[in-house]
Amino acid sequence: MKILISNDDGYLAPGIVALAEALVSFAEITVVAPDSNRSGTSNALTLDRPLSVQRAANGFYFVNGTPSDCVHIALTAIMTERPDLIVSGVNQGQNMGDDTLYSGTVAAATEGYLFGIPAIAFSQVHKGWQHLDTAATVAAELVRRGFPELPSPYLLNVNIPNLPRTEIKGIRRARLGKRHSSEPVIPMRDPHGRDIYWIGPPGAVLDGGEGTDFDVTSRNYVSVTPLQVDLTNTRQLDMLAMNIQ
Ligand SMILES: Nc1nc2c(ncn2[C@@H]2O[C@H](COP(=O)(O)O)[C@@H](O)[C@H]2O)c(=O)[nH]1
């Protein structure tokens, strides 16, 4: 089994190292990841400058680009054979609900999916890498299990509670929850007196109802959500006047 591994926290992040170590025991892995943290970059591609690929001492490739750049370069320039699966993560922090739209972790998996390859994004619920061994173990369990019940390619978003493996109650399918809009930006002044702004925290949970990723992870289950990329709002499509003058 050939697996391409990427992430958005960068090739040096503990999450991708733990994931690679968990998968290498049963799969042929290739790691291609950003040279630094690209959290929140979504599906961005780098179109305004060329990209370079370097190789670290541990064999990981790293790119001065986004997660989507990494997977794109891996599939069309680095790998001589098409992988059977794309795995992204383990992300430091959750990717639930609307996070998935901004997430570089999900974007790396999505790029592989758009090339017709099954893909899974893995995130830990809380930042700080606590119990990262659990996340890597669960990720390996899910990769080994596979998803024969789904048509291929599939795109899955997985969130794993930061708990000892023995406290994880199980794995549950879940729909994406929803957040309120993000908190306001944080205004500051730079040393030259110019206004600068930090992006504010994510919005609070708006829909964390039963069966959402927020819900199942809060009950110490791993959440698994199949994603799609067709953004057509089919309900409104039917509402649109047939011929717009
Ligand atoms: N508005 C903010 N959103 C945040 C912040 N930190 C995280 N996030 C959301 O979570 C994901 C993290 O996903 P990643 O895979 O890109 O690391 C990010 O995309 C946002 O949706 C924050 O401080 N503010």
**pLDDT tens digits for range 175-185:** 999 999 999 99
Cβ 159 under 6 angstroms from ligand 1:
no
Gap between the Cα atoms of 6 and 198, Å rounded: 27
Give mean pLDDT, residues 33-40: 97
Which tokens hold the place of 48? 């305004």
Any atom of ligand 1 within 6 Å of the Cβ of 67 = no
CA distances from 61 to 37, 46, 95, 101 (A): 15, 17, 24, 26
Q: Alpha-carbon distance 183 to 189, whole Å?
A: 19
Asked whether residue 244 carries a pLDDT value surpassing 90, the answer given is: no
Nearest to 118 by CA among 95, 141, 143, 81: 143
Whether ligand 1 lies within 6 angstroms of the CB of 124 is answered as no
pLDDT tens-digit profile of 139-170?
Answer: 999 999 999 999 999 999 999 999 999 999 99
Query: What single-letter DSSP state applies at residue 128?
Result: T
